[in-house]
Amino acid sequence: MMNKRFLPFLLLFALAFSSASAQNNRIHDTNYNGWYMYFGNHKLTDKLGLHTELQVRQYKVITEQQQIMPRFALTYNLSDRAMVAAGYAYVHTYPYGDNPASDDFPEQRIFQQLQLKDQQGIFGLQHRFRLEQRWLKFAGAQDYTYLNRARYQFRVNIPLQGPSIEDREFYLGVYDEVFLNFGPNVTNNIFDQNRAYVALGFRFHKDANLEVGYLHHHVAQRNGIWFEDNHTLQVGLNYNLDFRKKTAE
């Protein structure tokens, strides 16, 4: 039911992406990147948790720096199927590609998100809505520029060895995520980027899994002329810890 409920959002974002891709006065830059990631969702209480994350992104798959991003958040479970979170990320971007920035630059970011889960037959569905408030100090600038961004990700997990994903089994993970700019200081693009992803995953146990996959990363640069089509290897490790106090038996 949930996937039908959010169908209008998917159509809206598909239209935005199609409109962004339709113009002809654009230069496309193709890059080959590698993103190497760790994620952890750690239980502090039955409701409250801590999200930790580190992403190391490399240009030319592994040889040159693209970005580094640590991120953390406090999470709160509204129910078994709904979770909210608020957190902080630091992003450091390095020059890369055919139209690189003149120097590396930092970004300070806070964010809020709502994550919903559902199960339809063998398909595990996930919707993630995220708002970001971003302060970027672009290369050569003296001050930070403030930007707002909205993100929506729709993900499906599909078991490959039975009706559900169990320990020591493989699964397929697929998602699409669209990014839209809004508010002050938006220049030439409301559309910011789109990420389409497919991966083979392996679940070691309920709190650990590894994914290796391909990401097609379509990025609109702020000048409205340069667009990146990035072919990206993604390797992601999820490892969760439980810090809840154990009751004596």
| pLDDT one-digit tens code per residue, 176-190 | 999 999 999 998 889
pLDDT per position as a tens digit, 76-132: 999 999 999 999 999 999 999 988 989 999 999 999 999 999 999 999 999 999 999
Per-residue confidence (pLDDT) for residue 71, from 0 to 100: 98
Q: How large is the average pLDDT for residues 181-204?
A: 95
What is residue 146's three-state secondary structure? Answer: strand
Instruction: Determine which helix (DSSP H) or strand (DSSP E) holds 72, and give its type and residue range.
Output: strand 64-77
pLDDT per position as a tens digit, 95-106: 999 889 899 999
Amino acid at 57: R
* Cα–Cα distance measured from residue 194 to residue 37, given in angstroms and rounded to the nearest whole number: 19
Per-residue confidence (pLDDT) for residue 50, from 0 to 100: 98
* Cα–Cα distance measured from residue 4 to residue 118, given in angstroms and rounded to the nearest whole number: 12
Q: Tell me the CA end-to-end span of the chain in Å, nearest whole number.
A: 41
Q: How far is CA 120 from the centre of its chain?
A: 23
Q: Hey, which residues does 137 pair with through a beta bridge? A: none
Residues 6+ apart with CB under 8 A from 21: 218
Per-residue confidence (pLDDT) for residue 23, from 0 to 100: 52
Are 146 and 184 a contacting pair, CB within 8 Å?
A: yes
* Cα–Cα distance measured from residue 145 to residue 105, given in angstroms and rounded to the nearest whole number: 12
Per-residue confidence (pLDDT) for residue 213, from 0 to 100: 98
Q: How large is the average pLDDT for residues 6-16?
A: 52
Task: List the chain domain ranges.
Answer: 2-21+34-239
Average pLDDT, the chain: 91
- CATH of the domain spanning 2-21+34-239: 2.40.160.40
pLDDT per position as a tens digit, 55-77: 999 999 999 999 999 999 999 99
Residues 6+ apart with CB under 8 A from 230: 30, 31, 32, 33, 215, 216, 217, 218, 219
Tell me the backbone φ, ψ of residue 12, rounded to 5 degrees: -60, -45
* Cα–Cα distance measured from residue 147 to residue 153, given in angstroms and rounded to the nearest whole number: 20
Confidence of residue 20 (pLDDT cuts 50, 70, 90): very low
Per-residue confidence (pLDDT) for residue 4, from 0 to 100: 54
* Cα–Cα distance measured from residue 181 to residue 179, given in angstroms and rounded to the nearest whole number: 7
Per-residue confidence (pLDDT) for residue 31, from 0 to 100: 97
Are 67 and 92 a contacting pair, CB within 8 Å?
A: yes
